[in-house]
Amino acid sequence: MPARKVIAVESSSEGEEDLVEFKQSNKKRKLEATQSTADGKTKGATPKHELSGKKTKNGTPSKRAKGSFKACFSGPRIPKDEAMQRWPERYSIKKSKVNKPEDDNDKKLRQSPNDEDAEESGPSKCVAHYSRAEVDGTIYELGNCVHVHSGGEQNFIARIVEFFEDDKRKSWFTAQWFYRVEDTAIKVVDDVKNDKKRVFYSEVRDFNALDCLDSKIKIVRLSPLHHFNTLTPKPLPPCDYYYDMGYDISYSRFYALPPEVDTGSDGSDITNCNEMSSGPASSSQSEIRSDNNEATSGVLKEYTLLDLYSGCGGMSTGLCMGAMLSSVKLVARWALDLNPNACKSLEYNHPETKVRNESAEDFLMLLKEWRKLCEKYVEREDVDDSKARKRRKSVTADPDDEADTTSAKTEPGEFEVEKIIGIRYSSETDSGKAGIEMKVRWKGYGPSDDTWEPLENLGTCDDCVRKFVVEGKKNKILPLPGDVDVVCGGPPCQGASGFNRFRNRENPLQCERNRQIIVYMDIVDYLKPRFVLMENVVDILRFANGILGRYALARLVKMHYQAQLGMMVAGCYGLPQFRMRVFIWGAAPRETLPPYPMPTHDVVPKGGIPQEWERNMVAYDEDKKPTLLRALNLGDALRDLPPVKNSETRDEISYGGGAQTEFQRFIRLPKDVLTGVCSLASCKKQKMMLYDHRPLNLNTDDYQRVCRIPHQKGANFRNLPGLIIKDDNTVALDETVERELLPSGKPLVPDYAITFVKGKSLKPFGRLWWDETVPTVVTRAEPHNQALLHPVQDRVLTIRENARLQGFPDYYKLFGPVKERYVQVGNAVAVPVGRVLGYSLGLAIRHAVGSSPTMELPAKFPQSQMKSSAQQISDIPLEPLDDEAGDD
């Protein structure tokens, strides 16, 4: 098994790693402040100043630097038996360990401003504990919330949990820290204005010199529902700060605090505002609907999902499959994408989904207008029964009456509305006025004559509009706030892509190519789902100091969602491609934040992890030796597929043989088995066809080049004649021989292949091999700058082969031109990654997982959780591997 470097993702029991991160965050902000003073370029930073210039609350210069103030314990000692019971670790060591400070800013947090000798070590052996201290005339008690000197403009925020004295008669206190927003992974996001009074509870504790205490403050603990889903801000009780969530640096995790969190012991002056947490913050259905997952009839309760920027449906397909494996019926009720072919693919494979082909901006405006129409036309609960019956009668009029009313003679040139069959929001109309449009079926005409008409033009058709709205709300053709349990999606952020040479580094969120992440969060803010899952490329954490990733976290936290960010590698969940992506979870305050499933397959990370976000990598610690399955390769996924030519045009063909590996056996399973409708034993037997197993038809020149690439591992354009390899491993034309031309007159070796990456690349016309994996499935099939050639056939990988590398089951059929289908597959979330996330989501919906940010999947997942037993699936016979399989 190859060595595997993994990233530590858990903090130590003493919280030392969290403490280092906490202080490094503040240290970095102070460094930025220094740079700001020097060049005036850093935004949001505060000027650095010396501690001697610090002003106290009464405005007089601090006396600390001169050593003329008093810092000592007051009152009697705590009895030693009681102290040893409350702080046993303090008496079990001879000397407390301290991380060596990296600079003067870190020293100021731990050490007294007056004691240079204290800088080299922490407290020595503890000899006594106290419950009270006096610092510069202020009395402090255990449990008090305080400002602690930081050496910067903003003091640190903490709660005193311990007073003790060491055998050198030095005085110390232990602080339990609170984070400001800018201390967290969010830092400062100018486009999201956070409440300066809001802080976040943490489990980070450490000792500090007593005279670092600055002043007492008041912190209020609010119910997590205090601000959630409220139309108008609720007033805060008198306080300096408030908190409603905790923060953990592992996975940048903002989490709801359980009631038992210790904030009220030791005389704590943290106020719990229980009167504000006695009920839901509003009538949000997402917060008050029942969590009973199974109806009395034994049928699973249905949970709804909205898939934004859905593409062909990779993420929602995986999520729904995974949720079903955890006994939760998650159904993608709505989906949205701009690509009409992707919409057609999703609609075919998910007939239960209402798929809309429109922009996310128009969709959000439509949702708002739809809500107004529902309020206008649909009966309210307080409407008198007789009025309601009368209204329903007008909506569902007798056909004979309707005939009477519609038989009135129409004027020449007028058309009569038969019914309304659709609705949309149009930002671009012939009249230039944006607004709602209705799709009209005209009386006496067929579907081909349907037209979109502005709502204001249908003033004389109020009954038709009313009927459409009433039926539409009943059938939930569009979601209203409270209708959606889960929103998922991957808003495109091309403005952050490393392939974009014209990225806006100064104001990334003002770039039109990055705007969709804002729209995505606006839709979440409007619908207020119970859970949110956003997927994106790792570049959102690399580009412009990770501003796009920080923005997503900041928006969720500002909306008072719990949130966490993790990076997952597709290959770690049973695929022969690496493909690392960012997944950000959000969960409403009363929900369980879904954990990240740990890897099941032994895949070696290939770098590319932004250093600042290493704690967000979903992986095992280096010192842990889990039993993982071996990494899959191309042979595991593709060797059973029948050979096809470059010129193949059929969309459906037969397999021609059986599966050869467990991966192939699983991915061939019928749809009803994979989606949990039935077991393999009870599934109706039918002949399975292979869809989309056709390649991009290369042009004549490229095909002739491909035919000259040897069928061997590592072969590429460098194997063609007329080239030399220099000592620095760059390629160049061999000037000693005549350059070979194709029948078209173009060179056999194109110039773009020679000059790609300054002659260092091995990718142009590269041939893949059976024992390899691919870095990531891409959206293009031209072999000009990617290794895309089949190992033993003279063509690029087919659409189906790419789909298998993405984990799409073989039953999943795609639509559109060949190039469009490649794009759909390349843009999708890998289905197995969606499946493991769906499984953890289902457990979270059932509150069947704890508070850990990660979880381990069951053995032999997913087969072990399916209705079909693992034995039933393994009983499907495998054909022997043929080393020459697929060779032309």
| More confidently predicted of 497 and 573 | 573
> For the sheet containing 132-135, what is the strand order?
71-73, 132-135, 138-141
In this structure, are residues 420 and 442 in contact, taking their beta carbons and an 8 Å threshold?
Answer: no
CATH assignment of the domain containing 723: 3.90.120.10
Q: DSSP per residue over 331-344, as a string?
A: EEEEEEES-HHHHH
| More confidently predicted of 863 and 308 | 308
In this structure, are residues 514 and 480 in contact, taking their beta carbons and an 8 Å threshold?
Answer: no
| Residue-level pLDDT at 151 | 84
| Residue-level pLDDT at 460 | 87
| Residue-level pLDDT at 380 | 53
| Residue-level pLDDT at 110 | 42
Q: How confident is the model at residue 410 (pLDDT cuts 50, 70, 90)?
A: low
Residues 848 and 806 in one domain: no
Distances (CA, A) of 875 to 97, 665, 666, 866, 872: 58, 10, 12, 15, 5
Reference 173, options 138, 131, 136; nearest CA is: 131
What is the C-alpha separation between 216 and 141, in angstroms, rounded?
10
In this structure, are residues 361 and 519 in contact, taking their beta carbons and an 8 Å threshold?
Answer: yes
Question: Largest Cα–Cα distance of the chain, in whole Å?
Answer: 105
Helix axes 818-827, 340-349, angle to 10 degrees: 70
CATH assignment of the domain containing 212: 2.30.30.490
**Which region among 89-103, 769-783, 791-805 has the lowest average model confidence (pLDDT)?**
89-103
Task: Kindly state the tokens that stand for 676.
Answer: 């949990």
What is the C-alpha separation between 406 and 800, in angstroms, rounded?
53
| Residue-level pLDDT at 42 | 31
The one-character DSSP state at 885 is T
Does any domain span residue 378?
no
Backbone angles phi, psi at 86, to 5 degrees: -85, -30
* Model confidence pLDDT, tens digit, residues 519-546: 999 999 999 999 999 999 999 999 889 9
What is the C-alpha separation between 349 and 612, in angstroms, rounded?
40
Residues 53 and 121 in one domain: yes
| More confidently predicted of 95 and 587 | 587
What is the C-alpha separation between 92 and 78, in angstroms, rounded?
17
Q: Residue 241: beta bridge partners?
A: 219
In this structure, are residues 374 and 469 in contact, taking their beta carbons and an 8 Å threshold?
Answer: yes
Terminal alpha carbon distance of the chain: 33
**Which region among 11-20, 390-399, 844-853 has the lowest average model confidence (pLDDT)?**
11-20
Reference 534, options 249, 315, 304; nearest CA is: 315
What is the C-alpha separation between 314 and 118, in angstroms, rounded?
58
Residues 571 and 680 in one domain: no
Strand 138-141 relative to strand 132-135: parallel, antiparallel, unpaired? antiparallel
**Which region among 405-409, 442-446, 561-565, 810-814 has the lowest average model confidence (pLDDT)?**
405-409
In this model, does residue 51 exceed pLDDT 70? no
Collapse the DSSP code of 536 into the 3-class scheme (helix H, G, I; strand E, B; otherwise coil) and give the result. Answer: strand
| Residue-level pLDDT at 142 | 97
Residues 614 and 703 in one domain: no
* Model confidence pLDDT, tens digit, residues 820-879: 999 999 999 999 999 999 999 999 999 999 999 999 999 999 998 887 666 778 878 888
Reference 323, options 829, 863, 679, 842; nearest CA is: 842
What is the C-alpha separation between 557 and 187, in angstroms, rounded?
12
In this model, does residue 39 exceed pLDDT 50? no
Q: How confident is the model at residue 268 (pLDDT cuts 50, 70, 90)?
A: low
Collapse the DSSP code of 701 into the 3-class scheme (helix H, G, I; strand E, B; otherwise coil) and give the result. Answer: helix
- The amino acid sitting at 685 is K
Task: Kindly state the tokens that stand for 697.
Answer: 């038809």
| Residue-level pLDDT at 695 | 99
Q: Residue 73: beta bridge partners?
A: 133
Does any domain span residue 249?
no
- Choose the final residue of a domain: 217, 239, 269: 217
In this structure, are residues 508 and 493 in contact, taking their beta carbons and an 8 Å threshold?
Answer: no
- Choose the final residue of a domain: 217, 243, 271: 217
| Residue-level pLDDT at 679 | 85
In this model, does residue 185 exceed pLDDT 80? yes
| Residue-level pLDDT at 234 | 78
Does any domain span residue 450?
no
- Choose the final residue of a domain: 806, 828, 850: 828
Residues 841 and 822 in one domain: no
This prediction's pTM:
0.87
How much is the average pLDDT of 712-740? 97
| Residue-level pLDDT at 415 | 84
Q: How confident is the model at residue 573 (pLDDT cuts 50, 70, 90)?
A: very high
Ramachandran category for residue 807: left, alpha or beta (phi over 0 → left; psi -120 to 50 → alpha):
left
In this model, does residue 383 exceed pLDDT 80? no
How much is the average pLDDT of 365-385? 80
In this model, does residue 449 exceed pLDDT 80? yes
State the residue range of the domain holding 81. Answer: 16-217
In this model, does residue 55 exceed pLDDT 60? no
In this model, does residue 54 exceed pLDDT 60? no
**Which region among 188-192, 309-313, 419-423, 758-762 has the lowest average model confidence (pLDDT)?**
188-192
Instruction: Report the percentage of the chain scoring pLDDT > 90.
Output: 66
| More confidently predicted of 229 and 398 | 229
Does any domain span residue 34?
yes
Q: Residue 586: beta bridge partners?
A: 532, 563
| Residue-level pLDDT at 409 | 55
| More confidently predicted of 642 and 293 | 642
239, 312, 464, 493: the catalytic one is 493
In this model, does residue 564 exceed pLDDT 70? yes
Q: How confident is the model at residue 161 (pLDDT cuts 50, 70, 90)?
A: very high
- The amino acid sitting at 95 is K
Give catalytic status of residue 145 as yes or no: no
Residues 722 and 799 in one domain: yes
| Residue-level pLDDT at 3 | 36
Residues 735 and 848 in one domain: no
Residues 325 and 343 in one domain: yes
Residues comprising the chain, all counted:
888
In this model, does residue 174 exceed pLDDT 60? yes
Q: How confident is the model at residue 282 (pLDDT cuts 50, 70, 90)?
A: very low
Cβ within 8 Å of residue 236, ≥6 positions away: 197, 220, 222, 242
* Model confidence pLDDT, tens digit, residues 632-665: 999 999 999 999 999 999 999 999 999 999 999 9
Work out the mean pLDDT of the chain and round it to a whole number.
84
| More confidently predicted of 95 and 765 | 765
| Residue-level pLDDT at 365 | 98
Residues 795 and 847 in one domain: no
**Which region among 48-57, 599-608, 680-689, 798-807 has the lowest average model confidence (pLDDT)?**
48-57
What is the C-alpha separation between 43 and 189, in angstroms, rounded?
10
* Model confidence pLDDT, tens digit, residues 105-140: 343 344 444 444 444 467 888 999 999 999 999 999
| Residue-level pLDDT at 330 | 98
In this structure, are residues 534 and 520 in contact, taking their beta carbons and an 8 Å threshold?
Answer: yes
Distances (CA, A) of 883 to 397, 771, 792, 887: 71, 12, 11, 9
Q: Residue 253: beta bridge partners?
A: 248
Does any domain span residue 291?
no
* Model confidence pLDDT, tens digit, residues 187-233: 999 889 989 999 999 999 999 999 999 999 999 999 888 777 766 77
In this model, does residue 281 exceed pLDDT 70? no
HSE, CB side, 13 Å, CA atoms: give it for residue 134: 8
Q: How confident is the model at residue 96 (pLDDT cuts 50, 70, 90)?
A: very low
Residues 723 and 801 in one domain: yes
How much is the average pLDDT of 429-439? 84
In this model, does residue 100 exceed pLDDT 50? no
Residues 494 and 602 in one domain: yes
CATH assignment of the domain containing 332: 3.40.50.150
Does any domain span residue 805?
yes
Domain count, the chain: 3
| Residue-level pLDDT at 121 | 61
Beta strand extents in 44-193 (DSSP E only):
71-73, 126-130, 132-135, 138-141, 145-148, 156-166, 171-180
Q: Residue 437: beta bridge partners?
A: 424, 454
Measured CA angle at 850 (ends 845, 853), to 5 deg = 95
Residues 670 and 780 in one domain: yes
Does any domain span residue 870?
no
Helix axes 360-377, 462-475, angle to 10 degrees: 110
Does any domain span residue 654?
yes
